[in-house]
Amino acid sequence: MTTTAHPGTNGRGTAGDPGGIREGDGPAPLRGLVWLVWRQHRLVFGVLLAAVAGGAVWCAVLRGQMAGFIDAHHIAGCSQISLDPRCAHTQEAVSAFRETYGPFLRLVEVGLVLLPALIGLFLGAPLIARELEAGTDKLVLTQSVGPLRWLAVKTGLPALIVLASTTALSLVYSWLWQVAGDEVSGFYWYSALGFDALGPVPVAYSLLALAVGVLAGLLQRRTVLSMGVTLAAVVAAQVVLAQLRPYLLPTVTKEFKNGRPAQLADDAWLVGQGDYVRSGAHLADSPCHASPGYEACQRAHDVAGQYMDYHPASHHWPLAWIEAGIVLAGAAVLTVIAFRVMRRRHG
């Protein structure tokens, strides 16, 4: 027994519905919306994915060259000024390493630090603002996809691509930094650029920038204005958290008695220092200054030595995850606000 398909049905559905997808089938409009979002922003997505591929290849080559230089000159763990006897005659080699590879490391750091702002400017801010400004959102919202579903896809696909791309770039740079970070290159983990380029921090700020751009676009409804607001907000967040960073985790205090050299490890982040008296009290502002009567002044104030408050290298990753958690929480709050704004406007 054979089955004859009615004309126009292709043997799969009703007339006028060649794909067999009815108006009430939900997944089809959603799949179409995902494709639409990809088509609309494929240039930015392509640039981001190309940056990941190119950055990974470049960092792999650079890592091999740096590792070969370090091994050939035996300067692993050596800085320009080091108390380690093993590094006694390596100052010239360390200087040559920094002159050769320092600019490349700085370029990668700057790129990762600027990446969140670029994502906010060229992806987050135009994502919704351009639709609202051109009025194309009205056409999409007349289809079977509701406003909240539309916003979810419009933000979800870019968020996934940003998450994957920035995570890959951060991992590649962390892999590169393991070879020459801190002492040899002078690019310490606690520097403003170094901290913002390593681990989860650039990933978190990139997602925050995307969330800021989406909310700014919903509220401002103008692309250029939304870009300005996004840039200002992302830079402000980075600056404020950089100031709060030393206090996200309790510091370690080390005391040096008078007559002993006061020096920390090269990879230690000095946060504060001063004098301490025999009673144990710490004086942030030293009562004595270098002068012919310095020792007499110390005895008069009962100064027993110096103290230093610092973050050791072991604090790097806890501090990074704490800051990233704060930034991601901010991104989540802004995303919730964006959905509430959309619901209030469109029901």
Instruction: Tell me what pLDDT residue 3 has.
Output: 46
Tokens of 58: 């470049």
The beta-strand segments (E) located in the chain are: 252-257, 269-277, 282-283, 303-311
pLDDT in tens, 78-115: 887 776 778 888 889 999 999 999 999 999 999 999 99
Residue ranges per structural domain of the chain: 41-248+318-345, 252-314
Angle at 135 (CA atoms; ends 125, 36), nearest 5 degrees:
70
Nearest to 37 by CA among 146, 161, 213: 161
Residue 311: helix, strand or coil by DSSP? strand
pLDDT given at position 297? 80
Tens of pLDDT, residues 292-319 = 777 778 777 788 888 999 999 999 999 9
Query: Angle, nearest 10°, between helix axes 125-134 and 147-180?
Result: 150
CB 176, CB 108: distance < 8 Å: yes
Per-residue pLDDT at 317: 96
Query: And the tokens for 77?
Result: 């763990």
Residue 8 gets the label, from left (phi > 0), alpha (psi -120 to 50) or beta, of left
3-state secondary structure 259-289: CCCCCCCCCCEEEEEEEEECCCCEECCCCCC
CB burial readout 126-157, b (16+ within 10 A) else e = bbbbbbbbeeebeebeeeebebebbbbbbbeb
Helix (H, G, I), strand (E, B) or coil at 140: helix
Q: What is the dihedral of CA 227, 231, 233, 239, to 10 degrees?
A: 180
Beta bridge partners of 213: none
Report the C-alpha gap between 325 and 208 in whole angstroms: 11
Residue 171 CA to its chain's centroid (Å): 11
Given a cut of 70, the residues of the chain with pLDDT beneath it are 1-31, 83, 137-144, 290-291, 347
Check residue 29 and give its pLDDT. Answer: 53
> Residue 133: what pLDDT?
85
Compute the distance between CA of residue 132 and CA of residue 34 in angstroms, rounded to an integer: 18
pTM (2 decimals)? Answer: 0.84
Residue type, 73: H
Instruction: Give Dmax (Cα) for the chain.
Output: 113
User: What pLDDT, on the 0 to 100 scale, is given for residue 6?
Assistant: 45
CA-CA distance, 108 to 94, in Å (whole number)? 20
Q: Which residues contact 126 (CB under 8 A, 6 or more apart)?
A: 213, 217, 223, 226, 227
- Compute the C-alpha angle 191/236/272, nearest 5°: 40
- Crossing angle (nearest 10°) for helices 91-119 and 42-73: 170
Three-state secondary structure call for residue 341:
helix
CA distances from 332 to 15, 235, 327, 341 (A): 45, 18, 9, 14
